[in-house]
Amino acid sequence: MATFTLPSLFILLSLLSVAHSGSIGINYGRIANNLPSPAQVVQLLKTQGVNRVKLYDTDSNVLTALSGSNISVTVALPNEQLSDAAEKQSFTDSWVQSNILTYYPKTQIESIAVGNEVFVDPKNTTKFLVPAMKNMYASLVKYGVAESIKVSSPVALSALGNSYPSSAGSFKPDLVEPVIKPMLSFLKQTGSYLMVNIYPFFAYAANTDTISLDYALFKDNKGVTDPNNGLVYKSLFEAQIDAVYAAMKAVGFGDVAMAVSETGWPSKGDENEAGAGADNAAAYNGNLVRRVLSGSGTPLKPNEPLDVFLFALFNENQKPGPTSERNYGLFYPNEQKVYDIALTKEGLENGPTMNNGSKSTVVTAPQPAAAPVSSGGDVEASKVGNTWCVANEKASREKLQAALDYACGEGGADCRPIQQGATCYDPDTLEAHASYAFNSYYQKNTRGVGTCDFNGAAYVVTQHPKYGSCKFPTGY
């Protein structure tokens, strides 16, 4: 087992600086057979301004795609490996070498989630959790990266025996001595934080007779007053967070920080899943982002802004369970938004007000665009000085495909509109798709010299190319 020391002053200052600004990240789950490539996903995250992502494994393709992206990454050791990680440090040594040091620091790994919701794991892996966390930390120390990479474990809200009122929050008695106290002690000693998965949707769906939908969705409501301390809660999310804070304080660890490792609302559900739907999902996530990025904390801890990972990036078509499980995504697999919400402060300033969910835009499958009247498509008169980049119809298919792959991958072009089902997918021809991608790359690079060539696969035009209703952007 490792010997622990208090974090250095540098780490404490770093944690304090982070704590003064709430942050939004996204869980990138991949239980699906129709998702875009990791390189496309990284580009999507960038275009949305998302700079934190949480994974459920250490997939090589994903970690390689995230290299050099400036996106902070949380990786995970799956529950299936907890017993091995707990049994011997040689296992975690090898795991860290293969899954962390191979990619770090080019891939900005910021934390390791050891297991996921271990207390509800049907295979009863709870006894392995804290020993596995300690061995993982000892391995990070051994390789000199423990100050930069935190170790934690996501806990389901069901770990609480009581959550109402918030001030009476407490952990289930059978968990306190065996695992809660040792885990919180470890987190405190290593300067880490507790990860908690919080879903007001579940509480609302099970208690529609007593919980207001407006209260669950951060909409205007009269609030709920805690009878023990008089604090007024305007959202179920904040009440649940403070119940966890109260539970930690009750076992002597009220000073351990917390991050919400999962939260979300499904855009679709079964008949018995009350509240599931796109409008409610847009209201919950949109208002949550606004709440988090406002910078303030909860009623119990107003000076500790929130760090939250939304669940999830995509709808995942192979997840088992009720319909809701496959419909938590902010995006469809074709990278179109399920509903339109901002994920950054800039987006909030320029986007619609989401407080009542009335202005959320639900994206439906776009109608196919008409085929162009000629190989060059329709033409609109351009404004003086505007230029566009299109595919060279004389280039070979191999050259066009290679250039298209580069533009949509490493080149960073916005290729979402040419994904299947999106606005510029039709006409489904290599030349049309390549033209759109080439022009996106060209405009994103401010029409610089040499940015519309692709080894002879493209050239500049002065008339605005347009395939049916698909208009090519002039600038970004």
Give per-residue pLDDT as tens, 397-412. 999 998 998 888 888 8
| 327 & 456 share domain | no
Higher pLDDT, 49 or 370: 49
Give the Cα separation of 372 and 463 in Å (integer): 15
| 443 & 299 share domain | no
180 in a structural domain: yes
Angle (nearest 5°) at CA 26 between 24 and 27: 145
**Where does residue 11 rank: exposed (0-12), middle (13-18), buried (19+ CB within 10 A)?**
middle
From 348, 364, 380, the end of a domain falls on: 364
Give the Cα separation of 174 and 22 in Å (integer): 33
30 in a structural domain: yes
- What pLDDT sits at residue 374? 28
Closest CA to 377 of 322, 301, 431, 449: 431
Question: Would the pLDDT of 358 be above 90?
Answer: no
| pLDDT tens string 79-100 | 999 999 999 999 999 999 999 9
Contact yes or no for 47/342 (Cβ under 8 A)? no
Higher pLDDT, 353 or 52: 52
Give the Cα separation of 456 and 395 in Å (integer): 7
319 in a structural domain: yes
Question: Would the pLDDT of 371 be above 80?
Answer: no
Hey, which residues are catalytic here? 117, 262
Give the Cα separation of 321 and 417 in Å (integer): 31
Question: Would the pLDDT of 467 be above 80?
Answer: no
Question: Which residue pairs from 54-60 have beta carbons closer than 8 angstroms and sit at least 24 positions apart in sequence?
Answer: 54/25, 54/26, 54/27, 54/28, 54/113, 54/261, 54/309, 55/28, 56/27, 56/29, 56/30, 56/116, 58/98, 58/99, 58/100, 59/30
| 360 & 294 share domain | yes
Give the Cα separation of 23 and 42 in Å (integer): 18
| pLDDT tens string 96-152 | 999 999 999 999 999 999 999 999 998 899 999 999 999 999 999 999 999 999 999
Contact yes or no for 381/303 (Cβ under 8 A)? no
- What pLDDT sits at residue 181? 98
Give the Cα separation of 218 and 235 in Å (integer): 5
**Distance from CA of residue 298 to its chain's centroid?**
22
| 219 & 281 share domain | yes
CATH number at residue 328: 3.20.20.80
The CA dihedral of 267, 272, 274, 278, to the nearest 10 degrees, is 20
Give the Cα separation of 407 and 454 in Å (integer): 9
| 226 & 331 share domain | yes
The DSSP element (H or E) to which 72 belongs, if any, is strand 72-77
Count the domains in the chain: 2
Q: What mean pLDDT is reported for the chain?
A: 87
Cis peptide leading into residue 322 (ω within 30°): no
Helices (H), 164-271: 173-175, 181-189, 200-206, 213-216, 236-250
Question: Would the pLDDT of 423 be above 90?
Answer: no
**Distance from CA of residue 122 to its chain's centroid?**
26
From 330, 364, 398, the end of a domain falls on: 364
Angle (nearest 5°) at CA 470 between 465 and 474: 55
- What pLDDT sits at residue 438? 93
How many CB atoms are closer than 10 A to CB 206? 11
From 317, 332, 364, the end of a domain falls on: 364
In terms of residue numbers, what domain contains 244? 23-54+153-364
Question: Which residue pairs from 448-456 have beta carbons closer than 8 angstroms and sit at least 24 positions apart in sequence?
Answer: 451/389, 452/389, 454/399, 454/403, 454/406, 454/407, 455/399, 455/403, 456/392, 456/395, 456/399
Amino acid at site 244: V
Closest CA to 258 of 190, 187, 201: 187
236 in a structural domain: yes
- What pLDDT sits at residue 351? 61
| pLDDT tens string 28-73 | 999 999 999 999 999 999 999 999 999 999 999 999 999 999 999 9
| 213 & 326 share domain | yes
Strand pairing report for 52-54 and 160-162: unpaired
| 345 & 287 share domain | yes
Contact yes or no for 21/305 (Cβ under 8 A)? yes
Contact yes or no for 386/462 (Cβ under 8 A)? yes
- What pLDDT sits at residue 411? 82
| 171 & 274 share domain | yes
DSSP-derived letter for residue 80 is: G
The CA dihedral of 452, 457, 460, 461, to the nearest 10 degrees, is -150
| Sequence-separated (6 or more) residues with CB below 8 Å from residue 241 | 196, 198, 258, 260, 298, 306
